[in-house]
Structure 1
Amino acid sequence: MTPRTKMAVALPLVTVAILLVVVANVTNWNALREPIAHAVHAKTHRTLRIGGDLDIGLQWPVVRVHASDVTFSNPSWASRPNMIDVRHATVDIAIFPLFRGQIVFPQVQLDQAALAFEKSRDGRRNWLLDRRQRDSQARVAIRHLAVGDGRVEYDDPAQGTRLSARITTSHGSDKTSAPLRFTVQGRYKGEPLAAQGAGDAILALRDETRPYHLNVSGKIGQTAVGADGRITNLLKLSAVDLQIVLRGANLAQLYPLVGVVFPNTPPYRTRGRLVHGPRQWRYEKFTGEMGRSDIAGSLSIDTGGRRPLLVARLDSTRLDISDLGPLVGAGQAGEKPARAESAPTGILPGKAFRTQRWNRMDADVTLEAGSIDRPAALPLHRLSTRLRLQDGRLRLDPLRFDVAGGTLAGAVTLDGRASPIQAAAKLQARTLQLAQLFPTLDRSMASIGEFNGNIDLKGQGDTVASMLGSANGQASLVIDGGEVSKLLMETMSLHLLEMLQLKVTGDEPVRIRCGIADFAVKQGVMQPDILVLDTDVSRIDGSGRIDLGQERLDLTVVPKSRKPSLVALRTPIHVQGSFAHPQASLDKGKLAMRGLGALALGAVNPALALLPLIDAGRNADSECRRLIGEVRAADR
């Protein structure tokens, strides 16, 4: 062993020996009150006052200090004169850390204490002991804290936080094991807070091995929470294992509180297990309700990357379709939809997406809904989708609904990196059954038959209404086969004698030969390249426009009879007005053929693009296929 090594070993031993001798022989510790106060002031420029008795004893490996009537002042910028005001204090000082220049209190017991912690707007913290209160290393490390009766204040004006807590320990034969109770009131990040709870008497502030039992309930803003379980290291939350109940008006309101981006939702209530380990929070096996829907699953938040990553698997056995409204800006059931200031009042969702939060975290969420509660006129049955949010770009892919015996599936993308949002939707409707598509109609009005369709749109805007109002693309629909009410078709053709006859003898079905609706969409205006419904009774051609931006209809349908009728008005029918209140009227100019030339099937090339919508295997003798074949022949 070298002389330097021997010195390094001997010096601490000699110091400890001197300390033992001093502690054993000093009988009046009160004489050290002023020297200790001067030393603290020289180091911190703050005043320590010990007004009562001071006593120091050795309880290896700590020095135990008893003091009464103790105050420690705040820096000049703080709002209160003192940071600490304690009637009785017992402090254990660890001996070995002193040799490394560290002050560690393994245990602190306070009775009748008032503690005030405060942050300034420029980042200074009154619990840091350097002269400028900025050095995070200049603090006393407290491992465990017991408070018999005290008040704790915390003020952070930059965050809008001001809290006041009352702490009491019930008195029993073993005070260290008596439960601690507390109440907290004030504001947290601008939201009103009120909470109460209980825990172990000894607060395990920095202990990595001793979990601290906690039971708490309270409310922050419109969010109520109850939790029961154990937390390891209260200051850093090294490990958390709590059973929690969470209830609130909107999941999006959690963002200011926890920094996690959730979508707008109806009121919710969940119950599950919250677990925290290194770099990850998990909410496991939770169940609950959201609006009128049930919800269950698990989610995790990984904080170790460039941004937090939310991964969730959600299941719903009963999803109420109205509860999806807030996600797309439509509001809750029974609530008047919020509209953008520039958008007209209408039925399309008009509440803006909060894209400014999208680049603050990433997400990968899978949702499966086994059944859907919806109005009878909306034949949706199942929903499955995967939502991915990455770098401010949100994508629903795949997105699939079971609809009317068929499927509506595809992908929707919202790019929040652009202003306004760049949106795209590509959806396919396959094998939708006519009878199921219109379940509220009499089965005689639409029975056998199915249709297919494509939607391919791109637009921009911060609301669904503005995205559709600026959309470009194509929307196509083909009805191949089926039956429809003969009375309905005779009525649209204004065949008066046939209508009267059917009223007397009863309605009957008539075969649908083909139905085609092929719309070009430019700047939110839909104009038909082909709009035709062909039946054994009559053929109905259509023209006009549908303005998605203004949410208005301006369509003309012209019936053409396939058989002579003695009394037929043969008048075009106009369908006009808003989406919410459309109105039909007869053309008083009678046979005004506005736009019908563009509907001649032999001259419309876009019909060729509709061929993929016809199932050649199942519809080899398809009327629509023959109709489009005529277009191809006429185009040569």
Structure 2
Amino acid sequence: MALNDLTSWTREKWRAAREWSAPRATRLGHAVKSAPWKSIGIWTGGIVGGLVVALVLLVTFADWNALKGPISRFASNASGREIVIAGDLDVDPWSFTPEFHVTELKIGNPRRFAERGMFADVSEAHAAVRLLPLLIGRLDIVRIDLDGADVSLFRNAEGDANWARDPRTAARGRQFNLPAIRRFSLNDGRLRYVDERRRMVLDATFTSNESANEGGRFVLQGEGQINNRPFSIEASGAPLLNVRRDRPYAFEADVRAAGTRIEAHGSITRPFDLNYFSADVVASGPDLADLYYLLGLALPNTPPYALRGRVERNNTVYGMPNVRGRIGDSDVAGNFTASRQRNGRLLFVGDFNTRTLDFDDLMAVLGGAPDTSETASTEQRAMAENLAASNRLLPDAQLDISRVRNMDARVSYRAQRVRTDRLPLRALAVDVNLDSGLLRLDPLTLSLNQGRVGGAVSINAREDVPRVDMDVRLRGARLESIIAMRGEPALTGALAGRVRLSGSGGSVRDAAANADGDVSFVVPQGEIREAFAELTGINVTRGLGLLLSDDQDKIAIRCGVASFQVTNGVANVHTFLMDTETMLIRGTGRVSLRNEQLDLRLNGEPKEARLLSVDAPIVLRGSLRSPRVGVDAEEALDEGGLAALLGTLVAPLAGVLPFIDPGLAEDADCRAALALRPQPVRAG
């Protein structure tokens, strides 16, 4: 028992001793192991602290001008253009808004535009940015002050620009988006902009200054030249002191270029991302085509206009969903969008309607000029006066092929009513398609009071000299509605026709001067006042008697055909025939589109003996603008050849009728009229 008690006591003491010694050994082991790391930590902290202190001292007392070279080279390599700090560089880094001050900052053009000199030359620049956003890669500018900034912008005819990184960037047309700026000032700023594509040279000076003492407004003013005409811009907006990216930035703008004026009141959706904005716009000017210099849109020539609507831009697409107003003496309403395609070309898509179209306004679109008594610009009035002075009818305004080559378009236009005293037009409808310089008006429909004109016109401006092709048909028309005469109409009946011409030239006049093709008209049935029919044969006694007695009796037109072969701008009569109950009228001569002169002769052959008949044709001579009607007493028709003449006309008429309308030949009485072949009767 004693031995067992001793053993138990010994075991308990050993356990207690072991339990007491274990924690101590552990503590001693940790102490031994942690001693080297503690020393390393102390040394590391000292080194880091020393580096921080050294860095602080370096940044505080460093000569930043010594770093101009490395900083300039780094910026040049990153931007692809030469950047040089020719003056002083100073940095104040000890702030949550570090400040930078640079003098004589010179920024060169990209290498492909190196021959054009400097892109920007800034005398003095002061900027402050927020530090924390900068650490996460976002540039938030607190302040920018620029003094004496000269900027030169250039875009060549192909669309490559010196502010773009490469031609593909320029072709996409993306705007440069400024980061948010809290405060901005620009003093003595000068801008030169040369745009070969738009034929524009702009020299402008900009001065802006904003602070709380100025009512919290941002103001930008500039003046310069566009297309050798005065240009000015004045813009103002909400204060930039507290601009936020998630709130629209309101602005107002007033742009004037010669007689063109654009006023806008709107907002930029995401300051200052110019790819997203909307504005209520009022635009007016002497000619819509002048907007090309401001907007880059190849619009047609027009009389003076006044339009209003809302402009919206969403990324690369902008347009007006509700444009309305007046162009000349015509109202207009519709919508359009413009966007960049993948090939870099601008695509214009529009749908426009007019309640009442003044025909003179349409003449301006064709390169002509409205009547001087109508709404017209100073240039258009001068053009109209020149046309009148030269006794010319066809306009000679040149088509600017560079514009139509640089834009594509799909436009639908409808005029519900046409106001004109010249032609019996009632309505107009046309679809316009412009694709890489090929302009097509197809279908083109002119609704007459009776009948319609339909067909297609194309202008191919892909070559240096545009080519014009037209093929239009006249169907269902009536002579009495086209030939305007007071009182009872002298001619009545159905009328059909076709004009198929092709010519090359930069204007309507040039294209007509070398045109080739065919022009034909047919009167399948009708009536003519007997007095006029008699006078074509110069049956003096009967014809004058009927006219003086105001006799309205009519005789039937069995057939009427006028066919011209056009070669090199001259339309020679191929077939001219009108067969009535008492008279066979034929015509010869030509119409020159080159010099706009006509020389036509009408010979009337009686089908029965007349008391007094003068064998002399009626002549139609002079200019297309002011033709003259008279009698040519020097020529006479050999009456004995009338029957032979009728026989020679059968074959040409058989070809003319299907050319105009395949179904017309069945209705016309021409073949029956010629088949009769009446023998001429001499007066005796």
Q: TM tier, shorter chain?
A: 0.7 to 0.9
Following superposition, the deviation at residue 265 of structure 1 comes to 2.0
Closer/same/farther in 2, CA of residues 41 and 476 from structure 1, 3 Å limit: same
CA distance in 2, matches of 1:251, 1:353: 15
Three-state SS of the structure 1 residue aligned to 2:654 is helix
Given the superposition, is the C-alpha separation of residues 48 and 589 from structure 1 closer, same or farther in structure 2, using an over 3 Å criterion? closer
2:326 is equivalent to residue 289 of structure 1: yes
Structure 2, gaps ≥5 residues long: 1-44, 73-83, 108-116, 165-175, 196-200, 373-380, 678-684
Q: Contact between 2:391 and 2:625, CA under 8 Å: does it hold in 1?
A: no
* Aligned 8 A contact 2:133 2:140 in 1: no
Normalized against structure 1, the TM-score is what? Answer: 0.79
| Residue in structure 2 matched with residue 607 of structure 1 by the alignment | 653
Is contact 1:265–1:326 with CA below 8 Å preserved after alignment? yes
Question: Residue 301 of structure 2 is aligned with which of 264, 283, 293?
Answer: 264
Matched residue SS, 1:603? helix
Closer, same or farther: CA 400–628 of 1 in aligned 2, 3 Å: farther
Counterpart of 2:98? 65
Distance, in Å, in 1 between the alignment partners of 2:193 and 2:661 is 67
**Any idea what the Cα deviations from partners look like across 1:266-300, whole Å, max 9, x if unmatched?**
22221111111132112221001112211111111
* Contact 2:522–2:562 under 8 Å retained in 1: yes
Report the Cα offset of residue 49 of structure 1: 5.2
Distance 1:404 1:265, change over 3 A: same
Task: Note the C-alpha offset of 1:71.
Answer: 4.9
- SS of 2:140 mapped into structure 1: strand
Residue 187 of structure 2: which of 116, 130, 151 is its match? 151
CA gap 1:439/1:355 in 2 versus in 1, 3 angstroms: same
Aligned to 2:203: 162
Distance 1:383 1:358 in 2: 23
Match of 1:562 among 607, 612, 616: 607
In the aligned structure 1, how far is the partner of 2:543 from the partner of 2:450? Answer: 32
Q: Distance in 1 between matches of 2:309 and 2:154?
A: 37
The reply to whether residue 389 of structure 1 matches residue 426 of structure 2 is no
The letter of the residue matching 2:602 is V
Q: Say yes or no: does 1:84 pair with 2:129.
A: no
Q: Shift in Å at residue 56 of structure 1?
A: 3.5
Q: Distance in 2 between matches of 1:227 and 1:203?
A: 23
Which residue in the other structure is 1:106 paired with? Answer: 140
2:350 to 312, 319, 334: 312
SS in structure 2 opposite 1:466? helix
Contact 1:329/1:338 (8 A) holds in 2: no
Question: Which whole-Å CA distance do the structure 1 matches of 2:227 and 2:94 have between them?
Answer: 42
Q: 1:609 to 1:328 in 2, by over 3 A?
A: same
Summarize the Cα distance change of 1:277–1:470 in structure 2 as closer, same or farther, 3 Å threshold.
same
Tell me which residue corresponds to 1:238: 275
From 60, 72, 79, give the equivalent of 1:32: 60
Q: Report the Cα distance in structure 2 between the residues aligned to 1:400 and 1:126, rounded to whole angstroms.
A: 46
Letter of the 2:85 counterpart: R
Structure 1: gaps of 5 or more residues: 1-13, 58-62, 129-139, 632-636
Deviations 1:67-98 (A, max 9, x none): 8xx55323297699744356xx6532345537
- Pair 1:193-2:231 in alignment: yes
Instruction: Report the CA distance between 1:54 and its aligned residue.
Output: 5.5
User: Which residue number in structure 2 is paired with residue 255 of structure 1?
Assistant: 292
State the TM-score, normalizing by the size of structure 2: 0.74
Q: Distance in 2 between matches of 1:526 and 1:599?
A: 25
| Alpha carbons of structure 1 residues 92 and 75: separation in structure 2 relative to 1, 3 Å | same
Task: Note if 1:450 corresponds to 2:488.
Answer: no
Query: What residue is the counterpart of 1:116 in the other structure?
Result: 149
Q: How far is the alpha carbon of 1:629 from its aligned partner?
A: 6.0
3-state SS of the aligned residue for 1:263? Answer: coil
> Are the counterparts in 1 of residues 524 and 559 from structure 2 also a CA contact under 8 Å?
yes
For residues 307-346 of structure 1, the aligned pairs below 5 Å read: 307-334=345-372, 335=381, 337=383, 346=392
3-state SS in 1 of match to 2:456: strand
SS in 1 for 2:222: strand
RMSD: 4.1
| Structure 1 position 486, deviation (Å) | 2.4
**Count, aligned residues:** 578
Give the AA of the match of 1:46: I
Q: Is the 8 A contact 2:180 2:245 kept in 1?
A: no
Asked if structure 2 preserves the Cα contact closer than 8 Å seen for 1:577 and 1:583, the reply is yes
DSSP 3-state at the match of 1:119? strand
Distance 2:316 2:322 in 1: 20
Closer, same or farther in 2 for the Cα pair 1:148/1:261, shift >3 Å? closer
Q: Which has the higher helix share?
A: 2
Q: Percent identity?
A: 24
- Give the alignment partner of residue 467 of structure 1, picking from 496, 506, 511: 511
Q: Distance in 2 between matches of 1:528 and 1:379?
A: 26
| Equivalent in the alignment of 1:578 | 623
Three-state SS of the structure 1 residue aligned to 2:360 is helix
Asked if 1 retains the 8 angstrom alpha-carbon contact of 2:119 and 2:152, the reply is no
Aligned with 1:220 (options 220, 243, 257):
257
Contact 1:299 1:313 (C-alpha < 8 Å) held by counterparts: yes
Q: Is the 8 A contact 2:565 2:571 kept in 1?
A: yes
Letter in 2 for 1:185: E
Distance across 2 between alignment mates of 1:595 and 1:313: 62
Deviation track 1:16-67 (CA, whole Å, cap 9, x = no partner) reads x99xx98xx98x99x937634543464134156589x96843xxxxx22368
Task: Sort the Cα spacing of 1:597 and 1:209 in 2 relative to 1 into closer, same or farther, 3 A.
Answer: farther
